[in-house]
Chain A
Amino acid sequence: MENNLEHLRDQHDLSQRELADMVGVTRQTINAIEGDRYDPSVDLVFTLARFFECPVEDIFVPDVALESTINEAKETQ
């Protein structure tokens, strides 16, 4: 799942460690999310959205393949 976390963090002038402390995770987790190596839990996704005061979709971009599968399923209904 792609994301704009690094961009948002830069906009707020926060280090990975500062953001991690504010949302209650480790710096390594923020680093792994930014590097697209870890998909966060739903709880963490919403915590980040609340922290940046934006919709979830402004931070996380769903997989294109998954989105097209959902769209195809909707069209066949």
Chain B
Amino acid sequence: MNRSLVAPTEVRRLIATAAALGGLGLALFTVAELPLVGVGVYVIAVGSTVVLQPLSDGTAFDERDEAIAQVAAFWTLRVFGLVSAIVFPALTVAWGLDAFQWQPWSAAVGLFAAVLFLTYVGFMLVLQRRT
């Protein structure tokens, strides 16, 4: 075994840690009003995930990871779907009855869900034409 290479399990762990630290760093430094430092930390973390993969002395990610990501995406869409189908119409009715006021954060979440599903529908249409 080449001593300069790292075990795949260790590479997986390092990549997961780097990705988590990158996201956390970006969020924390942005909140602390140091956005450039946050972006710097994020870029270094994302860059390290790219650099780490070839250092693995075996397959670090495979079809099972892809399958897990697909199931996670399915459940994410399902949760957002339920929220969109039940919560947002209910809030809109409440807003119409003057029982609820849209706040910037709730409007942003609503807009995000709408954009998410428009993107989903867009990909569905494109993929249906291709396959």
Contact = CB atoms under 8 A, between A and B. Distances in A.
A32 B65 CA distance: 11
Interface of A: 17, 20-21, 24-29, 32, 38, 40-41, 43-44
Contacts of B67: 38
Contact of B64 (A17, A21, A28): A28
A27 B13 CA distance: 14
When A and B form their complex, which 9 residue pairs have the shortest distance between CB atoms, in order from nearest? A25-B62, A29-B64, A21-B58, A26-B62, A41-B63, A26-B59, A24-B59, A29-B62, A38-B64
Nearest to B62: A25
Contact of A17 (B58, B61, B62, B63): B58
B64 A32 contact: yes
Given A17-B58, A20-B58, A25 B63 contact: yes
Given A17-B58, A20-B59, A21-B59, A27 B9 contact: yes
Interface of B: 8-9, 12, 58-65, 67
Contacts of A38: 64, 67
A38 B71 CA distance: 12
A14 to B, nearest CB: 14
A33 to B, nearest CB: 9
Contacts of B58: 17, 20-21, 26-27
Contacts of B62: 24-26, 29
